[in-house]
Amino acid sequence: MRFESVRLESFAHHLPGEVLTSAELEGRLAPLYERLKLNAGRLELMSGIRERRAFPRGTRPSAIAAAAGEQALARTRIPRERVGALIHAGVCRDFLEPATASVVHERLKLSPACTVFDLSNACLGFANALCLVASMIERREIEAGLVVSGEDGGPLVEATLRALLEDPRAGRNELKRAYASLTIGAGGAAMLLAHERVAASPTRLLGGVARAATEHHVLCQGDRVEGAAGPLMETDAEALLEAGNALAARTFPLFLEELGWSRESLQRVVTHQVGVAHRRKLFETLEIDPARDFPTVESLGNIGSVSLPLSYSLAREKGFIGPSDRTGLFGIGSGLHCLMLGLG
């Protein structure tokens, strides 16, 4: 896919103040660790994540997404009434219906003419939503569109801890499959795309490539379980790492060809942040210098669909990425799906 007239007009992120360390989580798992004769420190050792953030109990995804969206709208001169689409692209939602985007739309006081809906595709939803909004702008259906997401891993972490501690049969295998759930963090992100006629930003969304390997959809699955207090997720982390990187290896050369880039001309990279081992393996597989990347996973954990846009927002905020740098946004989500987008 290629876009000729789409600009990344503004972006923002929203982080909670509460920090939850891996050591704290393992402290709560002490009875299980003692029964299984395991040493503390495994969670950080396996994931590289020393801490993640958490919102106060009861915080709605819409409130998180709206906070990021408000910041993004404050950073543009484009009036709210000219925002023609709003998509909430998170895994977390306020409720099954109506769309969480409806709540965000009301909070942001956008136009009644604005198209409003949710889009969900695990950790890749935000990137998918960017493509959809960009296509609408390219076809002149809208002048500008806002993509937001609010993720809160707190309920998943709490439900996982409870399930492990309350199950007398929980062993090393159950703990291993649950580890990925304990890496989940919290945060919000927003990106406003606009047609170059109305945009002030020089940053262009150039296009990208998407590929799927849905034969691996069983490697990471999350759902509500009967009798559980919250959602639960099971992940075969090792198999997911191998299959995800194999999919990325097939997608990357197609991405470079689509944009007319070379591996050497790619100045900066932002990835969906899963864990340190995943990051290292990805850059080895794609033969890219990891110094071009902006890692956040060690201190923020895996924030689902928010991870990629939030990491980009932080990288721009800190000056690591410039407005016109050739930047790859690389996302791999359970399913499996890979989407690589280029900014420049």
What element of type H or E holds 268? strand 268-271
4, 97, 215, 287: the active-site residue: 97
CA angle, residues 186, 108, 310, in degrees to nearest 5: 30
CB-neighbour burial class of residue 267 (10 A; exposed 0-12, middle 13-18, buried 19+): middle
Count Cβ atoms below 10 Å from residue 193 Cβ, excluding itself. Answer: 30
Q: Dump the DSSP string for 81-109.
A: GGEEEEEE--S--S-SSS-HHHHHHHHHT
9, 26, 70, 123: the active-site residue: 123
Active site residue 97: yes
Specify the length of the chain in residues.
Answer: 344
Residue found by looking up tokens 């290896």 in the block = 249
Strand order in the sheet with 337-343: 205-212, 337-343, 327-333, 268-271
Q: Does the bond joining 254 to the residue before it have cis omega, within 30 degrees of 0? A: no
Active site residue 123: yes
**Enzyme catalytic residues:** 97, 123
